[in-house]
Structure formats: C-alpha cells, structure tokens
A and B are shown apart, each in its own frame.
Chain A
Amino acid sequence: MTAKGNGQFESVGKHIVCDAEKCTGCELCVYACSFRYGKSFSSMKSMIKVVHLHPLLHLAVSCYHCKDPDCLRVCPTKALSQSEEIGVIQIDREKCTACGWCVKACPYGAMDLDADKLIVFTCDLCDGEERPVCIEWCSNEALEKGDLKTFREKVNAYIEKSKLAEYPEMKGFLNLNK
C-alpha cells in the first residue's frame, strides 16, 4: 500500500493540535471523546489518542485534515470524502465496508475502526460544536484548533528546548517529526 501523497505535510482548515510542551499524557481527552461518541469510557472508541513517548513527551493525536489525504486515495468504495472548507473527513455509512485500508494508510494512526458498528471513524471536530470536548476537558490547555505547520513547529521547538535529543533513549522516537 503505497498511496503516499505529499498531503500529510499540509492540512486543510483547522484541526485539533496538541502542544507537546503542555501535554501531560493524562488522557482526559480520550475519555471525553469516547464518552461523547458512545456514552462509555474506552480507549478504542475515541477519535483522539495519546502517545506516551517519554515521561517528558506525550502527545495527543487526531485527524490532521491532510491536503490530498491518503485515506481517501486508498478507499476502494469511495466511502470517504473531505469537506473542502473545514477539511473534516466524512464517512458514508452505506458505502463503508470496514475493510480497514484507510486505517492502515493514515500516517498518523488517526483513522479507526469501530468493531461494533463495523464502520470507520475519525475526528469530526464534534460536529461543528464551538468547543470540542477534548479541548473542554484537557487538564493543561494543551489542545486547540490549529494547522499542521504550526503543530510541527511547536513540537520541534519543545524537543529542542527540553534537550530530549541529547538522551539516547529518545533516538527511535524523534524521527516522528522529521
């Protein structure tokens, strides 16, 4: 599966971005999102996920509204489309066969499969609500709406500032953002 566009480095509209300097890895965003999604608490039914890379580096990850997204490219039934204005990925329930190709193609792991409903899902910015629940519940004001470029700049700045690159245990992780 090599549907690699260059879209993953540019985003459309604003999406949830996490400030690595502030993120504490508390996962309140995950709980809040899964609760909104299905009135229960689950790490599997959340549109936002947290990666714990190091005690000093945690990151909440969700759909980055790629320009020319890989998920769209690989979908065999054309179930996915992208809103031109806001960049949110929309999923046609009738057409989605839960084949999982988009899940595999997403470079950020932001697309997920709901094993109960047999349909994929990804961040829908709380369907246009003013303040998405993840931002509402975040323990440290680490989440906001932004774009990919600013996000990558902030993460790189924090990694620099915190001198994480000096410590060998971080080697494997820092290629994430190149």
Chain B
Amino acid sequence: MKAYAGKILIVDLSRKSFTRIVLEEPVAKSFIGGTGLGIKLLIDHCPPGIDPLSPENPLILVTGPTSGTIIPTGGNGHCFLAKSPLTNGLGQALSHGSFGSELKRAGYDAIVIKGRSEKPVYLWIDDNDRKLIDAEHLMGKSTYETELAIREEIGDFSIRVASIGIGGEKLVKYACIMNERHRAAGRTGLGTVMGYKNLKAIAIRGTNNVQVGKPEEFEKFAKEIRDLAKGPATEKYRTLGTPLNVLVLNSLSALPTRNFTSATFEGASRVSGERLHAELIRKTIGCSSCPILCEHIARIDEGPFKGALSRTEFETLWALGPNCGIDRLDAIVKAIEMTNAYGIDAISTGLSISFAMDCYEYGILTKEDTDGLELKFGNFEAMLQLVRKISLREGIGNTLAEGVRRAAQRIGNGVEKYANHIKGLEMTGYDLRGLKTAALGFAVSFRGADHNRHGAYDYDLKGKVDRFSPKNKGELVKNNEDWYTIIDSLIICKFSRGLYKDTFSDAAKLYSLVTGIEMTGEDMKRAGERITNIARIFNVREGLRREDDHLPPKIMSVPIPDEGIAKGSYVSQKDLNELLDDYYRVRGWTTDGIPTIAKLEELGLTEYVDIVKPLF
C-alpha cells in the first residue's frame, strides 16, 4: 500500500527500548489512520481501568494516509491519544502544521509511547535512528523555547518539534502538546500524560519520499481540490477566520457570556472578528500544503501587552473573553499567547477561570481563597494572573488546574451547578440552551463537551432545522459524527470539508488515489461508523453510561435570559431524553447508550464484543 509508511514505532520509556511493528493493510483499511487508527491502538495498548497518570497509559501519536502529500490540507495533521487524566475517558486531540508530515517522512504512521522515564528526556527520531536524549536542561522552558533549543542543539533548523510547557511539567490536568509555537493538540490533557511520563518533547526529522498509489490521477484530483479551496466554500476562513463567530453567535443569542449566564455579550463588538482584523491581525498564513490560509496572526503593537503574538481563533478568544465577561482584546491575545507558552488548553483554562469568577460573584470564593484577586467577571488583570497561577499550580491555581469538575468537588458548597463541562471536559463557545441539535452532539461526543467532533451546530445556526426542538436530531448528529471522524482519520482539515461535496464518496476517491487501496463511498461511511463505535466502546470499557451523556446544569435549568428570539430557551430533561433515545436508536445502541453485539459484529468489531457482553 502506498502513502502509509507501513510501520509503527513502540517506545518503552521505562526500559528505554524501541520496537517496530508493521501496519497491516486490513487494519489500515478498516481504521483509515489518524483518529481511527489511534483509537484502535489505544484500546489495544491501554489496559482497562488504569489511572491515566500511570506508566501503563500509552501516549499515541498518529498521522493519516494523506500526511506528507500535496492534497490540500492533507500534509499537515497529526493526532495524539491516551486515556484522559481530565475525563478518565477517551483523550484525543488533533493539531496541524508540519509536524505530522515530518513523522510520515521519517517512516512511521504512528508512535506508541509506553512506560515512564525516570528522568526528563526528549524523543529524537531521525529517519531510522531513534534516541532518548536527556532533557533536564529544557525543563521549565516554554513550548516555543523548547522547540528552538532542540533545533539549536541538534543543529538543524528544519526539524519539527512537539513539546509540553511548564503546564505539562506541573501536571495541570488540561495541559496540551504544542508545535510550531501556537498550534495545539489542546484538549483532554494529553500534555499531562506526556508530563507524567517525563517526556518533554518529540523531535522529528524525516527525509524519505512519500509515494502515492496513482500519481497522475492523484495530482489531478489534488489540483481540483486546490482550485476549489481558493473559492467561496472557504472564503470565510481567509477573510475573518473563525472569530467571525463572535458577532454571528451574538446575533442569534448563542454566545455564552459570563460562564453561560447569558447568551449575548454587550462587549461583543469590542472583541469581534471584525475589530480583531482591523486592529491586530498582521498576516494570514496557513499550514503545510494548505491553500485555504485560515491562520490569522495577531500581534499587539502598543500598550501594556506590546509584543504579544499568537494565532487567534474563536474558541480561545471566546473562552478567555466573553465567557469571562472580558472585552479587552489585547489582554485576550496576551492570555492566548500565555497558554501557548505554558502549554495549557486555552478553552479549559478560560472555563476554569469563568467558573472561579462565578463562584466569586456568588460569594462562595472570597479574596482569602483567591490570593487577594478580585475575581469579578470582566477583570482581565485577574484573568491573566490566573492563567499563570494555573500553569504553576500556585494558590487557587492548584485547584483550578484540576478542571472544573474536580475543582467543584473540592470547593463544595453546591458549586457543581457553575461547572460547565460534559464528562469532565469543559464547554466550548456555543450556548446549547438554544441550539438543540448541537446539544445532542455535545452530549454524546466521545471526548466530552465538544463542537469539533460533529459540527451539529451547523444545522442550528444555518436555520436548516428548528433549533428549539428536540425532535428527530439523532440521524443528523450520527451522519455528521461519522463524516467528521473520517476527516480526522484521513487527517485533512475540517475547514476543507466544504470542498468534498459528496462527503464519503469524495473521501473514498481521495483514499483510493492516495493509497492505491480501492474504497467505495459505502466502505468509507462504514469506516466512519466503525470508528465512532470503537470510540464509544473505549469509553464504555472505562465505565461510561447514559448518565454521562449529560449537559451542564446551567444548560438544563437556567433559561436564556436575553431579550430576543431565544429568550426562555433551555434543554429540559425531557428534551435530553428524547434527543438521546432518538440518537441511540439510530446508532443501533441500547437505551443505555451501549453498542449491541449485533452492531459490533456488523462493523467488524467482533474482537471487542467481550467488553459489552457482561453488560447484557
């Protein structure tokens, strides 16, 4: 098979040993690569019921068959997986840039990192060569400084590095793995696992050729996609990028403000994509092999935060901005830069801070608890202090570094109702009270609170369905999930999804041209379903049930207060029951959300039937 490297590297940090195993074609074809292959490797290499911060938890890095090729956005993704220390369920995060393609060129489709190093090390992969190099001198360095230091000591400016910052070293439960300064495999605490393993960074240099199955046809197809990529389907990413969501969501009463207290923000125009562009964006660039160019780089040129530089997206801007009641755009960009440098997930950080602010505003946390900080919504200076405290686990930062679910348990006093998470993963920027298709997608998503594994908000925002009704949303969410899963397994970029009009059929064509392995649209659709099911199976194995497919308390009990179209809307228990029942039925799962034996056998997942058997 072409395009795949055909090899997986197993690294044992405890024994300091390396093994190589082959990636067999049937496995590649069933699970595609990226997320799909990653979950398969995770469920096979991770023993059931372990503590995520134990040597047995494998940290997995995967690329897709398109990595390292010219297919627009195909060169550029990679995926990290492990059992999540934040949620105790499936931990997974994608990042883009150029790191994934380097791994492919080095000759690997995936790396499985087991055990735990006694002393801090970094993994250096140089084509066939692989070493564990002492990293004591890198501890405490920001992610970017680590990258520069490794390039300097190895002596090659073009090697690629993924690393953790001090957040990962301190085991902040939502620490992330950064590459190329501001690209993050952000959510679910994979940086925490890496920090626990005393693995400071992974550095790669790959010089092999990447072959494709049908070169001429592939080039032609890639060219077509590239020309489409310059067209209207991706225009919004080039112009304002994702920050355009600020005003769009605000106008629909769907912009969660002050920790999901209200759904509109009076300061929205001060932190809009429009203003960001007019005043702070210096250049727009893109990832490896990408013609879309969605990456807007903001730099503060004056004021107290002069010099702060970061790519700026909606979710990170929202989490540290409107979600905290903050409308100081320069402070928000500074905060994002800090989360990049410290290596903590900006979304979970923002939600942990807004949670603390809610507790403070309700008088449950006082200045004594907050080390003197006045944690009122809108206090951007306090927000910046907390970003630092969380990364270093100082004072109240130590509690907030646990994530809102555990922080709420520690603080007690009924503050669970202010903890906006699903399955332990903090919420993202969509006010689900008025977006019921999205609400279902969020409730069942395999990582926890997540818009990015299903994109079901699309139906609600575009008015394609009645967003206030819980009826008949199961099929929509299922189809979206399976399609998004394929995108994340080929690893192409979600922003290019509009270029594949016939979703699964186009993906199958791409797959066949790239690998030389024939696949139909139906095969690809099947694969999407298979991967979503194996994700579910992992979570079921780790104890997940229907009650974990929940929504945050505020979504289910505090109606939207803002005047306008969404006033009074929220997701009731009855709504949620209806949404879940419909979705489980469409999925062929039990009413408790467990895949049936018949479904597993249908999808070729018979080897995992033992996980569900005892439950029936």
Interface residues of A (CB under 8 A from B): 24-28, 31-32, 34-35, 38-45, 51-52, 55-56, 58, 137, 139-140, 162-163, 167
- B286 adjacent to A24 (CB under 8 Å): yes
Task: State whether B285 touches A24 (Cβ < 8 A).
Answer: yes
Contact B210 A42 (CB under 8 A): yes
Pairwise interchain contact A56-B283, C-beta atoms closer than 8 A: yes
CB distance from A131 to the nearest CB of B (A): 13
Taking CB as reference atom, which chain B residue is nearest A22?
Answer: B283
B105 in the interface (beta carbon within 8 A): yes
Q: Are B297 and A42 in contact (CB under 8 A)?
A: no
Q: Is the CB of B285 within 8 A of A26?
A: yes
Q: How far is the CB of A42 from chain B (nearest CB, A)?
A: 4
Complex CA gap A45/B209 in Å reads: 8
> What are the nearest 7 A-B pairs in CB distance?
A24-B285, A40-B209, A139-B291, A31-B70, A42-B209, A41-B210, A44-B207
Known A-B contacts A26-B288, A162-B282, A162-B283; the reply to A40 vs B70 at CB < 8 A is no
Interface residues of B in 134-170 (CB under 8 A from A): 157-158
Among B215, B292, B311, which residue has its beta carbon within 8 angstroms of that of A39? B215
How many interface residues does B have (CB within 8 Å)? 40
Q: Does B307 contact A (CB under 8 A)?
A: yes
In the complex, which residues of chain B have a beta carbon less than 8 angstroms from the beta carbon of A27? 75, 98, 288-289
| Bound CA–CA A45/B207 (angstroms) | 9
21 A-B pairs within 8 Å (CB atoms) are namely A25-B285, A26-B288, A26-B290, A27-B288, A27-B289, A34-B209, A35-B70, A35-B219, A38-B209, A40-B212, A41-B69, A42-B105, A42-B207, A42-B208, A44-B209, A52-B180, A55-B182, A55-B285, A56-B282, A56-B297, A56-B299
Q: For the A-B complex with A32-B70, A139-B292 known, give 17 more contacts whose Cβ atoms are closer than 8 Å.
A: A26-B288, A27-B98, A27-B289, A28-B226, A28-B290, A34-B209, A39-B215, A40-B211, A40-B215, A41-B75, A41-B212, A43-B105, A43-B206, A43-B207, A55-B297, A56-B282, A56-B297
Q: Give every chain A residue within 8 A of B75 (Cβ-Cβ).
A: 27, 31, 41
Q: Considering the chains assembled together, what is the distance between the CA atoms of A167 and B288 in angstroms?
A: 25
Q: Provide the bound-state CA to CA distance between A34 and B211, in Å.
A: 11
- Residues from chain B with Cβ under 8 Å of A55 in the complex: 181-182, 283, 285, 297, 309, 311
Q: Which residues of A contact B208 (CB under 8 A)?
A: 42
How far, in angstroms, from A34 to B210 measured CA to CA in the complex?
Answer: 10
Closest to A163 in B: B301
Quote the shortest CB–CB distance from B67 to chain A (angstroms).
Answer: 10
Does A41 contact B70, Cβ atoms closer than 8 Å?
Answer: yes
A14 to B226, CA, bound (A): 27
Closest to A32 in B: B70
Please name all residues of chain B whose beta carbon is closer than 8 Å to the beta carbon of A45 when the two chains form the complex. Answer: 209
Interchain CA distance A27-B70 in the complex, whole Å: 9
**Whose C-beta in chain A lies nearest to the C-beta of B182?**
A55
Residues of B within 8 A of A40 (CB): 209-212, 215
Cβ A24 vs Cβ B293 within 8 A: yes
Residues of A within 8 A of B309 (CB): 55-56
Whole-angstrom distance between the alpha carbons of A58 and B309 in the complex? 16
Of the candidates A25, A32, A41, A139, which one forms a contact with B209 in the assembled complex, judged by CB atoms under 8 Å apart? A41
Residue of A nearest to B299 (CB): A56
Alpha-carbon gap, A39 to B69, bound state (A): 11
Taking CB atoms, residues of chain A closer than 8 Å to B206 are: 43
Q: How far is the CB of A53 from chain B (nearest CB, A)?
A: 9
B68, B285, B288, most chain A CB atoms within 10 A:
B285
CA distance A44 to B290 in the complex (A): 19
**B residues in contact with A38, CB < 8 Å:** 209
Q: Does B572 contact A (CB under 8 A)?
A: no
- In the assembled complex, B284 has its CB within 8 A of some CB on chain A: yes
A28 and B291 form a contact (CB under 8 A): yes
Chain A neighbourhood of B295, CB < 8 A: 24
Cα–Cα, bound, A41→B65 (Å): 13
* CA gap between A56 and B290 in the complex, in Å: 16
Minimum C-beta distance from B374 to chain A (A): 33
Q: How far is the CA of A27 from the CA of B287 in the complex (A)?
A: 8
A141 to B292, CA, bound (A): 13
Residue-by-residue, is B306-345 near A (CB-CB < 8 Å gives 1, otherwise 0)? 0101010000000000000000000000000000000000
Contact between B293 and A26, CB atoms less than 8 A apart: yes
Interface residue from B68, B157, B285, B311 paired with A41 (Cβ < 8 Å): B68
